[in-house]
Amino acid sequence: MVSKLPEILEVVSQEISVAEHMLWLYCNKHSTFEIHKNSKYALDYFNYLQENFLYSIYCENCLNMNISDLKNCYYYELNVENAPNHRHELFGEYIYNEINVYFEVLNNLKNAVD
């Protein structure tokens, strides 16, 4: 377990970074960010955001999404200003739950190495 800790922390760090950008989107209804291609699971995030996560909470008419496949990174521009309030509240609940899961994972890792 201890030998895998750096790899696990790298993934958790990336997950928290994406959640942070999603929280920014929730607060401002507009967000731009990059995920570097050398990051573990970068392509998975690309597909997850584009095809599953945001479209399952916001409908296609409520989500203005531009994802560019650049040389070294994926560049995301997201806008949910047209979304009805109940969709936005659902998104907020999801982000809150996701962040709590990451803190729980970090706490479990901390307890495992203590």
- Residue 114 inside a domain? The answer is no
Domain of residue 55, residue span = 2-108
- Residue 7 inside a domain? The answer is yes
pLDDT, tens digit, for every residue of 57-104? 887 788 888 888 899 998 989 899 999 999 999 888 988 888 888 888
- Residue 56 inside a domain? The answer is yes
Give the Cα separation of 37 and 19 in Å (integer). Answer: 18
- Residue 38 inside a domain? The answer is yes
Please give the tally of structural domains in the chain. 1
Q: What is the pLDDT of residue 1?
A: 62
- Beta strands 73-79 and 64-69: pairing type? antiparallel
- Residue 97 inside a domain? The answer is yes
- Residue 113 inside a domain? The answer is no
Cβ proximity of 8 and 40 under 8 Å: no
Q: What is the pLDDT of residue 2?
A: 67
- Residue 40 inside a domain? The answer is yes
- Residue 103 inside a domain? The answer is yes
By percentage, how much of the chain surpasses pLDDT 70? 94
pLDDT, tens digit, for every residue of 17-61? 888 888 888 899 999 988 888 877 767 776 777 677 778 888 778
**Residues facing residue 76 across a β-bridge:** 33, 67
